[in-house]
Amino acid sequence: MPNLNSTIDLDVKKFFRWWLRELDFLVPEKIRRLVNEKQGFIIVRPENNRLALTYVLIARDGVYAASQSGTGAANEQAEPLAILERNASGIEQYKALRAKDERLAKANLILRLTAQEAIQKELALPVAVKENLSQVVAYELDRYTPFKAEQVYFAVKPLEGEHEPGQIRVMLVLTPRETLDALYEDIKAMDMSPLFVDYEATPNDLEQRYEGYNLLPESLREKPANAQRLIYTGLIAAIFLLLGAVLALPVLFEYQTVNALQEKIDAIEKDAREVKALQLEIDAMIDETRLLIAEKNAAPTVIEMLNTLSALIKDNTWLSYAQYSDGHLQIQGESPAASALIGVLEDSELFADARFVSPVTQDKASGQERFQITVDVTPAVAPPSMPSKQGGANGQGR
């Protein structure tokens, strides 16, 4: 089970160096040559009182691409160039060689010390000193070597692999100051400017030289060209701008899409509100129409009542007065037998509860009975109902 309490060792500088190296691999060779004219390496190796020069080219896919061997190691093609004396004749010999071979002017120069000029030693140190390795080693250098810090140039290189709990393994490489200073003066006299100084027993990986060590003191190191620095800075800035655009553009497009959809939704909602208002008006009109129809159908028409009375009352009976109000019909007239009218009216489907509202009197002139009858008018049969507001396609409500 993994230990979740362990500290994550994140080397930001190492990450960015790896990232830039991978980006450099993707850049076409022609563009890379425009940015950096340096091609290949010249390894300067001291041999007694002479300097052996070897030209090394990192073969990448036959041109200048990363090795695909699977191990990550680059395929170095080494070519011996010359052995120079460390005197005036050697200077003249190097000038002639440089004028003859243009590769020397474009190559990075590396001074690689041998066992006669440098030594190395593996150390085990506490993990707590990992962030200040150089300072700790310089303080206790006389414990690990027969030299003091002011007598040598040294470098400390962390080693990969398994470590003892609470400790780290490092490689200490050092060279006497007098030795390196003398070598540096000789190669500077030949117009050589080393990129770094390492030890042949622990050489730096030329493909990952930015992660290596350098025995050359800071004061003697070659300063990078401002143009190259500006170009790399511009490329890094452009990468970050492109990265920001990649992250920001989808968000911007999504925002614009959401706004466009919201505008459409607002327009649809406006139309929906108008449709709803029209629907409410239609429903109100339907309700009013229902009320009017119901009120109209609550009683038969006057013509229907008069036609029914004409059919029910015989020719010997005549009416002098008729009034319809609130579902009641009141009639006055004369009839030979007024009491018979009650039965006649109640037998009709249109009338009910016929009754006299005043006593029946005898007309002395005509000899007929005067009557005043009130009868209830039966409501008419309701017509088929109107389609419901919530009716389906067949017009029937739920």
Question: Rounded distance, CA 214 to CA 64, Å?
Answer: 24
Structure confidence at residue 311 (pLDDT): 84
Question: Rounded distance, CA 309 to CA 350, Å?
Answer: 10
Range 25-49 burial, b when 16+ CB lie within 10 A, else e = eeeeeeebeeebebebbbbbbbeee
Structure confidence at residue 340 (pLDDT): 83
Tens digit of pLDDT for each residue in 378-390? 875 555 455 544 4
> Higher confidence at residue 18 or residue 367?
367
In whole numbers, what is the pLDDT of the chain averaged over residues?
79
Tens digit of pLDDT for each residue in 102-146? 888 888 889 999 999 999 999 888 888 888 888 888 888 888 888
Structure confidence at residue 152 (pLDDT): 93
Structure confidence at residue 34 (pLDDT): 54
**Is residue 118 a contact partner of residue 173, using CB atoms and an 8 Å limit?**
yes
- pLDDT tops 60 at residue 165: yes
- pLDDT tops 70 at residue 229: no
Average pLDDT for 232-255: 85
Structure confidence at residue 20 (pLDDT): 64
C-alpha closest to that of 166 among 7, 4, 1: 7
C-alpha closest to that of 329 among 355, 362, 366, 349: 355
Structure confidence at residue 394 (pLDDT): 39
Average pLDDT for 21-48: 69
> Higher confidence at residue 4 or residue 181?
181
Assign 74 a pLDDT band (cuts: 50, 70, 90): very low
3-state secondary structure of 127: helix
Structure confidence at residue 69 (pLDDT): 32
Structure confidence at residue 7 (pLDDT): 52
Structure confidence at residue 209 (pLDDT): 61
- pLDDT tops 90 at residue 292: no
Tens digit of pLDDT for each residue in 304-317? 888 888 888 888 88
What are the helix (H) ranges across the chain? Answer: 12-26, 29-35, 88-100, 103-106, 133-139, 141-144, 177-189, 226-297, 302-312, 339-346
Q: Report how many helices (DSSP H) and strands (DSSP E) the chain contains, helices first.
A: 10, 13
Domains along the chain? 34-223 (3.30.420.380), 302-377 (3.30.1360)
- Residue 277: phi, psi to the nearest 5? -65, -40
Structure confidence at residue 212 (pLDDT): 82
What DSSP string describes 206-233?
GGGGGGS---S-GGGSPPPPHHHHHHHH
Structure confidence at residue 30 (pLDDT): 59
Q: Which two tokens stand for residue 259?
A: 């706004």
Assign 68 a pLDDT band (cuts: 50, 70, 90): very low
C-alpha closest to that of 210 among 10, 19, 39, 62: 19
- pLDDT tops 70 at residue 11: no
Tens digit of pLDDT for each residue in 188-205? 998 888 989 999 998 988
Tens digit of pLDDT for each residue in 327-376? 788 888 888 888 888 888 888 888 888 888 888 888 888 788 888 889 88
C-alpha closest to that of 54 among 19, 82, 27, 74: 82
Average pLDDT for 22-38: 58
